[in-house]
Amino acid sequence: GQELLGSLQAFVEERHLRAPFIITCVGSVTKATLRLANATATNTNEVLHLSGRFEIVSLVGTLNPDAHLHISLSDAAGRTVGGHVLGDLEVFTTAEVVVGEAVDLSFTREMDVQTGFPELVVQTRSQTDGSA
């Protein structure tokens, strides 16, 4: 019954991870809200609200404060759907998530005027800490 995205963001915040990412995930959810691939910065209404029992086939992405995750889910018939995670990932039975951290790096996001979305910026920790 836990909401997976919020739980992962809390995990990252509690541990002060600066360049976290999903290594792998298996489990199942009963809800999901996904933005579909044809959404743009000006038309973000291409959203799919799922309800039912779904296996997590894949979960990938970065977990900095503005997490960017994509998920693939399959239903009881094996049909698969995927997209950008907006939230509402309500765990059904379990979600076994392996989180990694690139310890020498720091992930942030900066708005990109071309895409209209905040894009990933990867820096070494020495760049973000102000040391040489």
Q: What percent of the chain has pLDDT over 70?
A: 94
Question: Which CATH number does the domain housing residue 70 bear?
Answer: 3.30.1330.80
**Nearest Cα to Cα of residue 59 among 24, 15, 28, 86:** 24
Is 120 domain-assigned? no
Tens of pLDDT, residues 2-14: 999 999 999 999 9
Is 82 domain-assigned? yes
With 70 as the cut, is the pLDDT of residue 39 above it? no
Per the structure, the complete domain to which residue 60 belongs is given by 4-102
Is 109 domain-assigned? no
Is 124 domain-assigned? no
Give the per-residue pLDDT at 122: 93
Residue 46: what are its φ and ψ, rounded to 5°? Answer: -80, 75
Give the per-residue pLDDT at 41: 66
Tens of pLDDT, residues 53-94: 999 999 999 998 889 999 999 999 999 999 999 999 999 999
Sign of the C-alpha dihedral, residues 7, 8, 9, 10? positive
**In the chain, how many domains are there?**
1
Give the per-residue pLDDT at 66: 85
Calculate the dihedral angle through the C-alpha atoms of 71, 34, 115, 127, rounding to the nearest 10 degrees.
-50
